[in-house]
Structure 1
Amino acid sequence: MAITGCAGYGQTPAQPASPAPAGATPGGMCNAQPAQFAVGQNSTASVVESARQRSGAQTARILRPGQIITKEYDTQRLNLEVDGNGRIMAAKCG
């Protein structure tokens, strides 16, 4: 009985995890919904990076009209489809 009374002695209480950014998914998985703010904006480096961060994705790429792209689906990548002027038309994961 004396052993069970000391089982927790010397342990520190667990620290709460820091909250994830709103809309972010664990492990770098992409969630395109928070990146929708970028639709209609020019694909500047700061807009692309902000969309990537908000989506929780590890990477982001810009897809231009007629560009040859790989078709593999990557759960950690944000795809920003742009028009011929560089304006973002869609934000999707993959």
Structure 2
Amino acid sequence: MRILILLAALTACAPVPPAETPAETPAPGNCSAGAANGLVGKPYSAEAAEKARRATGSGTVRVIRPGMAVTMDYRIDRLNVDLDEKDIVTRVHCG
């Protein structure tokens, strides 16, 4: 009986492992473009871009169309979605 009480006391003092987070979930505020690679080759939609933004952990999405002027600043929290003339996604990248 004493052994059971001792075992119960030791088990109660054991450290609790931290909750696991999925490996594909990026840190908030950082962009992880790999999570949005599924967009490449598909027609662009605002809904798909928002889903990709959440999946990549990005704060914003910038859609880049052919010939469009864009700034050269690098933002770690921005997902860029490059489109072709038919609004098909050709590339996703952070910056």
Q: TM-score range by the shorter chain?
A: 0.7 to 0.9
Q: 1:23, 1:56 within 8 Å by CA — same for their partners in 2?
A: no
1:84 maps to what in 2? 85
Query: Which runs of no fewer than 5 residues in structure 2 stay unpaired?
Result: 1-15
Query: Which runs of no fewer than 5 residues in structure 1 stay unpaired?
Result: 1-13
Structure showing greater radius of gyration is 2
1:64 maps to what in 2? 65
In percent, how many aligned pairs have the same letter? 35
SS in 2 for 1:28: coil
Paired residues in the alignment total: 81
The whole-number CA distance in structure 1 between the counterparts of 2:73 and 2:33 is 17
The whole-number CA distance in structure 1 between the counterparts of 2:88 and 2:28 is 29
The whole-number CA distance in structure 1 between the counterparts of 2:46 and 2:82 is 14
2:53 maps to what in 1? 52
Shift of 1:63: 0.3
**TM-score normalised by L of structure 1:** 0.76
The structure with the largest helix share of the pair is 2
4+ residue runs over 4 A deviation: none
Larger displacement relative to structure 2 (65-74 or 45-54):
45-54
Shift of 1:54: 1.1
